[in-house]
């Protein structure tokens, strides 16, 4: 089973609509990363969250890490076709050193 669960697996939204992607772990996360991957391409770093309750925004994308540092959400406001892609959350687990694990990704499609 995945140590880092992402939901939903895929999402189709109408342009202009808001959406939220979730990333959940049963373990405490020491660093939470959000990446965007365009189909067939590499990963683009979006944001990193470290502290419980932390929230960061970049343009129309906001990410939050809950107080217990076990869940993060990524919220996109007024989605555009350029937001389409695969959103991956990655997190550091401490196992004698930090190892990053990734969720399976959320595939976002934005209908114009």
Partner 1 sequence: NAGVMQNPRHLVRRRGQEARLRCSPMKGHSHVYWYRQLPEEGLKFMVYLQKENIIDESGMPKERFSAEFPKEGPSILRIQQVVRGDSAAYFCASSLFERQVLTYEQYFGPGTRLTVT
Positions in the binding site for partner 1 (CB under 8 A)? 2, 4, 6, 30-31, 33, 35, 40-45, 48, 50, 88, 90, 92, 97-105
Which residue's CB is nearer to partner 1, number 6 or number 79? 6
Cβ 34 vs Cβ 21: under 8 Å: no
Give the Å distances, CA to CA, from 55 to 18, 22, 23, 43: 17, 14, 14, 21
Within 13 A of 5's CA, how many CA atoms are on the CB side?
9
Which residue's CB is nearer to partner 1, number 19 or number 89? 89
Q: How far is the CB of 49 from partner 1 (least distance, A)?
A: 10
- In what side-by-side order are the strands of the sheet with 71-76? 4-7, 19-25, 71-76, 61-65, 55-58
Q: How far is the CB of 63 from partner 1 (least distance, A)?
A: 13
Q: How far is the CB of 17 from partner 1 (least distance, A)?
A: 25
Q: How far is the CB of 74 from partner 1 (least distance, A)?
A: 15
Which residue's CB is nearer to partner 1, number 19 or number 29? 29
Q: Is the peptide bond before 99 cis (omega within 30 degrees of 0)?
A: no
């Amino acid at each position: 089973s995945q140590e880092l669960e992402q939901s939903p697996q895929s999402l189709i939204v109408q342009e202009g609509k808001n959406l939220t992607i979730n990333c959940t772990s049963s373990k405490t996360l020491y660093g939470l990363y959000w990446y965007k991957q365009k189909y067939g391409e590499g990963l683009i770093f979006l944001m990193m969250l470290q502290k419980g309750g932390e929230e960061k925004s970049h343009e129309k994308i906001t990410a939050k890490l809950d107080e217990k540092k076990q869940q993060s959400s990524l919220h996109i406001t007024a989605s555009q076709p350029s937001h389409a892609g695969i959103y991956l959350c990655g997190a550091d687990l401490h196992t004698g050193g930090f190892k990053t694990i990734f969720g399976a990704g959320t595939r976002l499609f934005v209908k114009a």
